[in-house]
Structure 1
Amino acid sequence: MNISFHLFDLIVILGITQGLLYVVLLLIKYRQYASKQVLALILVVFCILSGKILLHTLGLWQNPSLRYFPLAFDLTLQPLLYLYVVSLTQSKFTLNRSWLIHFVPTLVFMIHAVLVYSQTQTTDNLALKDQIAESLYFNNVKEVEDLLSVLLGGVYGFLGLHRLMRYRNWLFDTVSNPAYPAYLWLRNMLLVTGGVWLLLSLNIFLDLGLSFTTYSFLHWKFFYVYLAVNVYYLGITGYQQPPFEVAFDESAIDSLPKRTLDGISQDQIQDVKNKIEMAIEQERVFLDPDLSLTSLARKLNLSPGIVSGVINSEFDKSFRSLINERRVDEVKHRLTDPAYQHLSILGIALESGFNSEASFYRIFKATTGLSPRQYSTQKTLKIPIESSQKPN
């Protein structure tokens, strides 16, 4: 057996090594967090899938003991990615037996793969191995598995993105606490993963419709490189994301009053707007780091739906953006007020309604285009500052 080693194989091996390293780091540092455990499983499965392509590109498929080695994990990554989204956005998420049903397809195809492998181990003759595998419908089963990979990729991709967008809508409409992660990176990751799904669909069409694998593995090499970039971005970013226990229950979205101003006159809308402005500017409710849409509405003796609707229509902002931009304004004022010179920048931020150093610096820079220290320095030197006013 001759092993042919190329640049592609080196890239995949380095990727597998990096993936296993992050698995170890995740299990050592964050083993008590369910979301980190799911992320570790995603990386393990990706390493296994990467090993499948190496069987062919390195010529290991010609080794009698490795031919038909059972690695039927093609239907595992899809539900795991969805499970990861759920673990990040569900309050008190735990891994339990109820999730096992999502991996029944993997179990079914793995049983078949083990059966084929065990039967083909009765001989070292590769031709006979192929005949035995064909008698067990190996190629037919693989075609079904490939088609299900595309189908489940689309289904779980949609479910994951839908759930994440519902969480983000709930977050921006009802929670001012900037410590709550918005998971913009995860949203972008899921959108880019759509490219993986499209490539997978194209590759399966090329294999089943045009028998491309007979001529070249080039299209699959490109697919695995693209998949590697996406999954390892997920691994690195997911590892760096601090664990955070969200107080989000997806059913809470359905119980929230609908954001509508139907049947409310313009005078009534203006009255609600005035009440919101008074609560922010005079009562300074934004100083409460745990201020929520519900608590603000209760304070104003209004329904959360009406308050949310007025904020969106009259301020042209989400509740979260409105409150955090006012907190940034307060920090900007205190940074240049001699009365607060005894406080550190972080101390000023905490007194202005922020409760997380990382989220404060992120939101301040997104709003002003400068770090707090840069802003303070430029104001001291009386240099004009242009605010980017980006939503947080």
Structure 2
Amino acid sequence: MNLNITIWSLFLLIGTIQALILCFIFLTQKKGNRKANLIFSSLLLIFAIILFDHSLRLSQLYKFFPQGLYISDSIWYLIAPLLWIYLKIRLGNNKFRLIETLHFVPFLYFFYTYRGMLFLNSKYKAAILESYVMHGSVHNFLIKVFILIMMIQMLIYLIICFNFIYKYEKRFKDFFSSNQADLLTTLKRIFLFFTLYFIFEFAFSTYRNFANIQNRFIENWSLVMWTLFILILSYTIVKSPKLIFESIAEPKRRKQKYEGLDFFEIEKELLSYIETSKPFLDNNLTLPQLAKSIKLTPHQLSFALNTHLKTTFYDFVNTYRVKYAAQLLESGEHLKLSIFGVAQVSGFKSKASFYSFFKKQFNTTPSKFIEKL
């Protein structure tokens, strides 16, 4: 029995193994939000099944495990609702209402409709794969429609997820420490990957299915993207586990009255405190901490920053940090600490945030800034 172990199938098998390892890590992780970790471990298990199924098809290992063919087809419908539930739980909503089980109706419907294929005799499964025929043209067309519906479902859920993140960030950004802001940035990048992937997959699969055009290279790369995502996620966990596991706490807000506040006096006191005490050097500085230092409530300070200074706490603090970093670069501190070392001393936790704010402030990168000195 000849096998066809290609670089594609090998890469998918590596992704399968790595996804299972990550699934175990998330499942046994005690830090952060346990419910969110459980949901994400379920997603990783789904990715592992998808990659394993397709690695069987590419390598012809299905001849040894024909019963494993097509096991992933129905579980694609689970990705969108699980991502949505993961996002809600990660951002502090731990309640799961009974009505939310409706999210899984598309999966159950497809599973029921497709059950004949899933539990088909293994020899017939192998024969279908080899001949690219699925019980006639009518059934084949229905499968194409199911795939199209799944892609549309995924894109709709991702739009809802990004809208949820946007509203959450807009509401609570001023109350985050730089660490919490980095956690939210990591979360947004995870959802950005899924968005870009499914936009590509939606365009390609629709064109392929309804124009009857096959392109093995694009199909293979589509699956390899899952493996790359899993490997990048693994690297992030090793390098900065807090970015994945740590909870993003939702700050509590109450309505406050701002009548009688002298915003010019608040500005004067705030700037004086910032310049003399340099609290921005603390990379865990939060808005409540800063407000307490100048005898204001967090809401009063947030209101003053937003309406009077036309900025946010996050931008306000990082502007001072980046200016302080520039002073250190000018004095040659980077020769002792490295550029990122200077960023950390200045209060930045994230290299990405430092470079982003530095370029925004000085319209150049730190390296080019040093060259001009």
TM-score normalized by structure 1? 0.65
Report if aligned partners of 2:148, 2:206 keep a CA contact under 8 Å in 1. Answer: no
**Structure 2 counterpart of 1:26:** 26
Per-residue displacement from partner, 1:289-330 (whole Å, max 9, x unpaired)?
Answer: 5542995699448846631324652xx5x2134346668999
2:295 equivalent to 1:308: no
Report if aligned partners of 1:68, 1:116 keep a CA contact under 8 Å in 2. Answer: no
CA distance in 1, matches of 2:52, 2:30: 26
Distance 1:219-1:367 versus aligned 2 partners, 3 A rule? closer
Q: Percent identity?
A: 14
1:292 to 278, 285, 288: 288
Where 1:66 maps in the other structure, the secondary structure is helix
Distance 1:131-1:67 versus aligned 2 partners, 3 A rule? farther
**Structure 1 counterpart of 2:341:** none
**Structure 2 counterpart of 1:116:** 117
CA distance in 2, matches of 1:23, 1:330: 42
- Aligned partner letter, 1:202: A
2:67 equivalent to 1:73: no
Alignment of 1:90-129 (within 5 A): 90=92, 93=94, 99-118=100-119, 126=127
Larger Rg: 1
Per-residue displacement from partner, 1:36-64 (whole Å, max 9, x unpaired)?
Answer: 22221121111111123224323356789
2:28 equivalent to 1:41: no
Report if aligned partners of 1:173, 1:293 keep a CA contact under 8 Å in 2. Answer: no
Distance 1:185-1:236 versus aligned 2 partners, 3 A rule? same
**Structure 1 counterpart of 2:316:** 322
- Report the Cα offset of residue 138 of structure 1: 3.9
CA distance in 1, matches of 2:16, 2:160: 28
**Structure 2 counterpart of 1:344:** none
Distance 1:105-1:232 versus aligned 2 partners, 3 A rule? farther
- Aligned partner letter, 2:103: H
Alignment of 1:1-392 (within 5 A): 2-30=2-30, 33-59=34-60, 65-66=66-67, 69-71=70-72, 72-90=74-92, 93=94, 99-118=100-119, 126=127, 134=135, 138-175=139-176, 177-183=177-183, 184-213=185-214, 216-237=215-236, 240-242=240-242, 243-248=245-250, 270-277=264-271, 280=274, 291-292=287-288, 299-300=295-296, 303=300, 306-310=303-307, 312-313=309-310, 316=311, 318-323=312-317, 362=349
Paired residue total: 334
Report if aligned partners of 1:3, 1:59 keep a CA contact under 8 Å in 2. Answer: yes
Per-residue displacement from partner, 1:88-140 (whole Å, max 9, x unpaired)?
Answer: 2225x36675543322211221222223344657979947x999953796423
Report if aligned partners of 1:4, 1:59 keep a CA contact under 8 Å in 2. Answer: yes
Distance 1:94-1:24 versus aligned 2 partners, 3 A rule? farther
Name the stretch that deviates more: 19-28 or 66-75. Answer: 66-75
CA distance in 2, matches of 1:228, 1:332: 39
CA distance in 2, matches of 1:142, 1:219: 20
CA distance in 2, matches of 1:104, 1:359: 51
Distance 1:203-1:358 versus aligned 2 partners, 3 A rule? farther
CA distance in 2, matches of 1:19, 1:323: 38
CA distance in 1, matches of 2:120, 2:368: 69
- Aligned partner letter, 1:13: L
Where 2:76 maps in the other structure, the secondary structure is coil
Report if aligned partners of 1:62, 1:126 keep a CA contact under 8 Å in 2. Answer: no
More helix by share: 2
CA distance in 1, matches of 2:250, 2:98: 22
**Gaps in structure 1 of 5+ consecutive residues:** 262-267, 334-356, 370-384
Report if aligned partners of 1:116, 1:136 keep a CA contact under 8 Å in 2. Answer: no
Per-residue displacement from partner, 1:272-305 (whole Å, max 9, x unpaired)?
Answer: 4224335656898878955429956994488466
- Report the Cα offset of residue 17 of structure 1: 0.9
Where 1:30 maps in the other structure, the secondary structure is coil
Distance 1:298-1:163 versus aligned 2 partners, 3 A rule? farther
Distance 1:94-1:14 versus aligned 2 partners, 3 A rule? farther
Distance 1:233-1:63 versus aligned 2 partners, 3 A rule? same
Distance 1:137-1:359 versus aligned 2 partners, 3 A rule? farther
Distance 1:86-1:133 versus aligned 2 partners, 3 A rule? same
Distance 1:321-1:293 versus aligned 2 partners, 3 A rule? farther
**Gaps in structure 2 of 5+ consecutive residues:** 328-343, 357-365
Report if aligned partners of 1:34, 1:94 keep a CA contact under 8 Å in 2. Answer: no
CA distance in 2, matches of 1:34, 1:206: 38
Report if aligned partners of 1:172, 1:321 keep a CA contact under 8 Å in 2. Answer: no
Distance 1:89-1:120 versus aligned 2 partners, 3 A rule? same
Report if aligned partners of 2:173, 2:181 keep a CA contact under 8 Å in 1. Answer: no
CA distance in 1, matches of 2:69, 2:350: 53
Distance 1:270-1:81 versus aligned 2 partners, 3 A rule? same
